[in-house]
Amino acid sequence: MHSANVDVNRQFGNGGGRVRLPLLALLAKEPAHGYELKQALEQTFGSAYPSPNIGQIYVTLGRLEKDGLVRAVDVEQSNRPNKKVYYLTADGREALETWVDEPTEGPRVRDEFFMKLVLAPLTGIADRMALINRQRRHYLSLMRDLTELAERTDPGDRVALLLIEGATLHLQADLDWLERCQEDLVT
């Protein structure tokens, strides 16, 4: 029997990535097959959080089963192939509870862009101002995409709108930080 008392980041950080824990959470509510889980993800998170394709879901369910976090039961259907219904195991519930109880990561201290900003001028590959401007254009493009997504999102889909708002606020903070980098490092 697998112990759910594992490093949750290691357990869930690869091989299904961010799909593993939402699938466990949905299975904690009720057993389901892959297509039901895909629909539940789409209904729960709305358009702001892209749903994985059905292949990703089934591969992830297979890994969860191998890890002892879910179990699959073949269910016969008349005039159709059998379907696999997945159930959360006790270890799966324990892993899910561990994940829910742990605080999420805080601010990025080891930011990849900041490493580029510090190291690129040392190598002569790029200057800091060019890096800052390129990153700013990228963030502004992402901001436009989020604005368009918000405009297309059903006003009744509060979860999707909150996700979009959170992403927008993070991007605005990143843009403000770029201004600070420009002021402190370039001038």
Tokens, residue 19: 């799909």
Q: What is the pTM of this model?
A: 0.66
Compute the half-sphere exposure of residue 16: CA atoms within 13 Å on the CB side of its CA. Answer: 22
Residues 133 and 178 placed together within one structural domain of the fold? yes
Give a yes or no: residue 50 inside a domain.
yes
Whether residue 1 contacts residue 38, with contact meaning beta carbons closer than 8 Å, is answered with no
The reported pLDDT for the residue numbered 2 is: 41
pLDDT, tens digit, for every residue of 95-109? 999 988 888 777 776
Residues 17 and 38 placed together within one structural domain of the fold: yes
Residue 3 lies in a domain: no
Final residue belonging to a domain, choices 50, 80, 101: 101
Of 51, 74, 101, which closes a domain? 101
Structure-block tokens of residue 48: 């702001």
One domain for residues 136 and 172:
yes
pLDDT digit string, tens, across residues 47-98:
666 778 999 999 999 999 999 999 999 998 888 888 999 999 999 999 999 9
H helix intervals, 20-157: 20-29, 34-45, 54-66, 90-101, 112-123, 128-152
Q: Name the average pLDDT for the chain.
A: 85
Distance of CA 22 to the CA centre of its chain: 9
Domain end: 101, 121, 153, which one?
101
Q: What percent of the chain has pLDDT over 90?
A: 52
Q: Is the pLDDT of residue 12 over 70?
A: no
Domain span at 84: 8-101
Q: Report pLDDT digits (tens) over 96-148.
A: 999 888 887 777 766 788 888 888 888 888 888 999 999 999 999 999 999 99
Is the domain of 67 the same as that of 141? no
What's the confidence (pLDDT) of residue 169? 96
In total, how many domains does the chain have?
Answer: 2
CB atoms within 10 A of CB 164: 22
Give the C-alpha distances (Å, rounded to integers) separating 75 from 2, 31, 68, 92: 25, 12, 20, 21
Residue 106 inside a domain? The answer is no
pLDDT of residue 5: 36
Residue 8 pLDDT more than 80? no
